[in-house]
């Protein structure tokens, strides 16, 4: 502790100057002495690194002071465990949050360097896939902004989520090389290296006092090495840490094998280690793929928990205070093995009794559930866990015995209910239910929208909710307005500032003041001009990446998100086919010109999702090259959707497609990002759409389709969807065109099974919602033709998105779950 005292009492360096002149001098110094380049020959990537290093220095000063303050005050820390952190580019975010955007821009201008070019050159961190990872990134921003001491924990993926390219309309997965040239934002922490074991056996060990304890002796050992990235809050309020784990071998090379000529086998240990932190979501369609996923989840969970316990012991010296000083939030089910791992650390390493360890564990963990889809509520074969993590499996059995005894003796559960709450699914091959483990091992279990939370109680956690009726609560998701309005849409931010003042940047609830300007023709004209400029920017991206021109004066109808059948990109493209047919049949009609923009990645092993991408591209090829359609309908699929592309697409959208099958989208955050940028939502009563409808009013969103209750009822009746298709001429013709090969002349049967699934079961209610969706799209056309009405709606969407800030969400977590103060 004396060493810590010396560090904490060390003098705080004077803050670095933030003038353009000071930054210009420091950028040149970094370029020369850190990058090793003469300005005369420096390339753009050299200037980028030098600029990042100059900005980073000013963040480090705040970072160190934030850490010192937490040690001095012994504040409770929040630890956010997530398999994804979709943080995107960091330089613009950092500059904006500490007020350096204009000084750096001027400093670089004086050096004949354009800041915009450098921002576009920075690679996206390939640490996530979709909404789950982007939510984690927004939460890290908000925790720093609200001055909550926090760490984010995840994996430092070497290649992350794949880079998506198109080959004749098919998705092709290529490795993402975002770390190929290093990452100037991160710091390796060699002192924070932990041993991670797999396999082996559990053996009884006799203690001197005659007692026996169990000791896990793994057969494999790898190292988890920490890499830290500073996450700075708005106005530099606080800088928190994103700590990512890289898997490394204990011995990088077997020299004996190498010297004996087995040069490949000598690197076997390195290959096994590096595979753990190589790729996000490796395909789990094979047993080896499943094992690698479990290894990833345990690897980062164990490393994070060892780090948390080490830090707590270093400051407090006693684990009895763990729930008072530590809050660990599990972001979905991926880190659920943390429950068993913390129990192992408390019992095996620190000698606690089971009862005390279980009390501390439940007092420390909170669990956020993000989905009701069975495939996302992970289960692992018991045999796999017993082989790979034998001690943790023993503890899962012990936890299960505790829970089942409580269910039987305290709650009086019958055999059917006991089977439902058990951590072990005994139906068929025995599997461990990781969602159940996360639930029973946490003091709080939250959904991410009001509807989702209620459905959790009625469906996947019905019996657990009866056993622990006070545990489930709701925390509707949010997005950070810093990145998703102020940074990605500077034109709209300036317009809002001119109209209501700059105070909304510090209190996003003040956006509501825009409502009274929504019907002002002058403001509508200015708002439309900003929107059109953003659309021009997107047309340039489309032209650059696809060599294809679209008009910025068309209605931009945007559907960008992970490709999944429940998100119903298929419904959208079928309606596009029906629209295409109608335009050809009735050229005299006054059609609204539309550009349908799709983007998103399909999981490598998800065949139907990949087939939907191919269908979108096949439809685009036909529609976009048909002269009879003129400029009335264009279909675009933008490959490799990521945060940086989203920052261009969302401000340009006129219409936001949020059309998931009701009851399956937990919340959505894309819906919020589009709306705050002035897009009108067409959507189902699903996820956070419901709360958005309450906020913006039914006159400012376009809602259609079956409700969650109606979907459940239709599935229960197992009614055949064929009648819905037969009774809808437009749908029937569109499906016949797709199934017969009109869009796939090279393979007429390509989509026969995809379409056949709509006739046979239509699980995601594509056919049964089609007519309602088509009518809603016709309503969109009608509204668009009345520009005053349209921009009144768009402005009111922006005006009423303040509640959907991640700052509000984090305040609720802090007050209700973590019990930490918010400043």
Instruction: Supply the pTM of this predicted model.
Output: 0.95
Of the candidates 662, 679, 683, 654, the one whose C-alpha atom is nearest the C-alpha of residue 596 is 654
User: Looking at the predicted structure, is the pLDDT value of residue 2 above 60?
Assistant: no
Q: What pLDDT does residue 11 have?
A: 56
CA–CA gap between residue 103 and residue 95 (Å, rounded): 9
Average pLDDT, the chain: 95
Dihedral angle, C-alpha 722, 724, 728, 732, nearest 10 °: -30
CA separation for the pair 490, 116 (Å, rounded): 13
For 730, counting Cβ atoms within 10 Å of its Cβ (0-12 exposed, 13-18 middle, 19+ buried), the class is: middle
Local confidence band at 438 (pLDDT 50, 70, 90 cut-offs): very high
Please classify residue 55 by burial: count the beta carbons closer than 10 Å to its beta carbon, then call 0-12 exposed, 13-18 middle and 19+ buried: buried
Catalytic residues: 370, 561-562, 567, 669, 673
Residue 644 token pair: 């940086």
Give just the sign of the alpha carbon dihedral 502, 503, 506, 508: negative
pLDDT (mean) for 40-54: 97
Angstrom distance (rounded) from CA 28 to CA 49: 11
Give the pLDDT score at 129: 86
pLDDT attached to residue 5: 41
Q: Convert the pLDDT of each residue in 547-578 to its tens digit.
A: 999 999 999 999 999 999 999 999 999 999 99
How far apart, in Å, are the Cα atoms of 167 and each of 176, 283, 579, 635, 733?
A: 17, 20, 26, 17, 28
Residue-wise pLDDT tens digits, 230-264: 999 999 999 999 999 999 999 888 778 778 887 78
How much of the chain exceeds pLDDT 90, in percent?
90
- Average pLDDT value for residue range 688-696: 97
The tokens describing 41, both together, are 């020959």
pLDDT tens-digit profile of 467-494?
999 999 999 999 999 999 999 999 999 9
Alpha carbon distance 619, 743 (integer Å): 6
Instruction: Report the percentage of the chain scoring pLDDT > 70.
Output: 98
Tell me the per-residue pLDDT of 358-382, one tens digit each, with 9 for 90 and over.
999 999 999 999 988 876 689 999 9
Question: How large is the average pLDDT for residues 126-141?
Answer: 93
Give DSSP secondary structure letters for 212-271. Answer: EEEEEE-SEEEEEEEEEEEEEPGGG--EEEEEEEEEEESSS--HHHHHTT-TTGGGHHHH
Alpha-carbon dihedral angle through residues 305, 307, 308, 314, given to the nearest 10 degrees: 140
If one compares 683 and 376, the residue with the highest pLDDT of the two is 683
Tokens of 403: 């829970």
- Kindly provide the residue ranges of all beta strands, DSSP E only, lying in 352-401, ordered along the sequence: 365-368, 379-381
Question: What is the rounded (10 degree) CA torsion for 695, 700, 702, 706?
Answer: 30
């Amino acid at each position: 502790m004396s060493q810590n005292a010396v560090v904490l009492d060390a003098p705080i360096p004077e803050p670095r100057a933030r003038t353009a002149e000071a930054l210009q001098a420091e950028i040149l110094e970094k370029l020369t002495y850190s990058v090793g380049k003469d300005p005369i020959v420096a390339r753009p990537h050299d200037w980028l690194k030098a600029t990042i290093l100059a900005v980073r220095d000013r963040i480090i000063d705040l970072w160190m002071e934030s850490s010192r303050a937490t040690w001095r005050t012994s504040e409770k820390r929040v630890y956010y465990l997530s398999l994804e952190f979709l943080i995107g580019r960091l330089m613009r975010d950092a500059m904006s949050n500490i007020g350096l955007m204009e000084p750096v821009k001027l400093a670089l201008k004086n050096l004949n360097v354009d800041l915009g070019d450098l921002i576009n050159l920075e690679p996206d961190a390939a640490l996530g896939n979709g909404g789950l990872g982007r939510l984690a990134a927004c939460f890290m921003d908000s925790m720093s902004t609200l001055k909550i001491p926090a760490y984010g924990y995840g994996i430092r993926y070497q290649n992350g989520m794949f880079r998506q390219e198109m080959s004749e309309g098919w998705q092709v997965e290529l490795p993402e090389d975002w770390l190929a040239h290093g990452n100037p934002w991160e710091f390796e922490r060699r002192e924070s290296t932990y041993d991670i074991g797999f396999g082996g056996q559990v053996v009884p060990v006799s203690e001197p006092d005659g007692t026996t304890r169990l000791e896990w002796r793994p057969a494999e050992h790898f190292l988890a090495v920490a890499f830290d990235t500073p996450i700075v809050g708005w106005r530099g309020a606080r800088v928190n840490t994103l700590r990512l784990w890289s898997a490394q071998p204990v011995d990088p090379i077997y020299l004996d094998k190498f010297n004996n000529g087995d040069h490949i086998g000598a690197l076997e240990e390195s290959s096994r280690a590096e595979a753990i932190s190589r790729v996000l979501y490796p395909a789990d369609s094979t047993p080896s793929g499943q094992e690698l996923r479990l290894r990833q989840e345990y690897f980062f969970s164990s490393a994070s928990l060892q780090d948390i316990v080490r830090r707590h012991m270093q400051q407090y010296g006693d684990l009895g205070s763990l729930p008072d000083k530590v809050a660990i939030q599990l972001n979905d089910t991926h880190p659920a093995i943390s429950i068993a791992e913390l129990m192992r650390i408390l019992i095996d390493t620190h000698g606690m009794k089971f009862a005390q360890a279980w009390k501390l564990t439940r007092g420390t963990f909170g669990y956020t559930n993000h989905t009701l889809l069975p495939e996302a509520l992970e289960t692992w074969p018991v045999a796999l866990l017993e082989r790979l993590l034998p001690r943790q499996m023993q503890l899962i059995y012990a936890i299960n015995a505790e829970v089942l005894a409580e269910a039987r003796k305290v709650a009086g559960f019958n055999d059917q209910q006991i089977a439902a709450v058990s951590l072990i699914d005994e139906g068929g091959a025995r599997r461990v239910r990781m969602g159940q483990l996360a639930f029973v091992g946490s003091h709080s279990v939250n959904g991410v929208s009001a509807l989702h939370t209620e459905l959790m109680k009625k469906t996947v956690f019905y019996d657990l909710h009866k056993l622990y009726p006070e545990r489930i609560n709701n925390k509707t998701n949010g997005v950070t307005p810093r990145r998703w309005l102020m940074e990605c849409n500077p034109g709209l931010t300036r317009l809002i500032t001119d109209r209501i003042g700059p105070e909304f940047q510090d209190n996003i609830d003040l956006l509501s003041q825009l409502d009274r300007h929504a019907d002002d023709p002058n403001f509508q004209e200015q708002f439309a001009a900003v929107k059109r400029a953003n659309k021009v920017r997107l047309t340039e991206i489309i032209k650059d990446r696809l060599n294809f021109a679209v008009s910025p004066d068309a209605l931009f109808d945007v559907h960008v998100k992970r490709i999944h059948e429940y998100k119903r990109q298929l419904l959208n493209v079928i309606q596009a086919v029906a629209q295409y047919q109608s335009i050809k049949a009735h050229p005299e009609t006054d059609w609204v010109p539309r550009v349908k923009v799709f983007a998103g990645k399909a999981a490598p092993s998800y065949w139907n999702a990949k087939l939907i991408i191919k269908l979108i591209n096949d439809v685009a090829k036909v529609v976009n090259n048909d002269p009879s359609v003129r400029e009335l309908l264009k279909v675009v699929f933008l490959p490799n959707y990521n945060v940086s592309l989203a920052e261009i697409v969302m401000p340009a959208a006129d219409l936001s497609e949020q059309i998931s099958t009701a009851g399956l989208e937990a919340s959505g955050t894309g819906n919020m990002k589009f709306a705050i940028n002035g897009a009108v939502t067409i959507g189902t009563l699903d996820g956070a759409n419901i709360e958005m409808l309450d906020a913006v009013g039914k006159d400012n969103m376009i809602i259609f389709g079956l409700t969650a209750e109606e979907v459940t009822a239709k599935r229960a009746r197992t009614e055949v969807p064929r009648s819905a298709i037969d009774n809808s001429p437009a749908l029937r013709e569109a499906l016949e065109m797709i199934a017969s090969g009109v869009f796939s002349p090279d393979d007429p049967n390509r989509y026969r099974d995809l379409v056949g699934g709509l006739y046979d079961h239509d699980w995601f209610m594509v056919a049964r919602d089609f007519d309602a969706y088509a009518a809603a799209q016709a309503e969109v056309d009608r509204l668009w033709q009345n520009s005053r009405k349209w921009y009144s709606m768009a402005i009111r969407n922006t005006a009423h998105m303040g509640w959907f800030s991640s700052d509000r969400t984090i305040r609720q977590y802090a007050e209700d779950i973590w019990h930490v103060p918010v400043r």
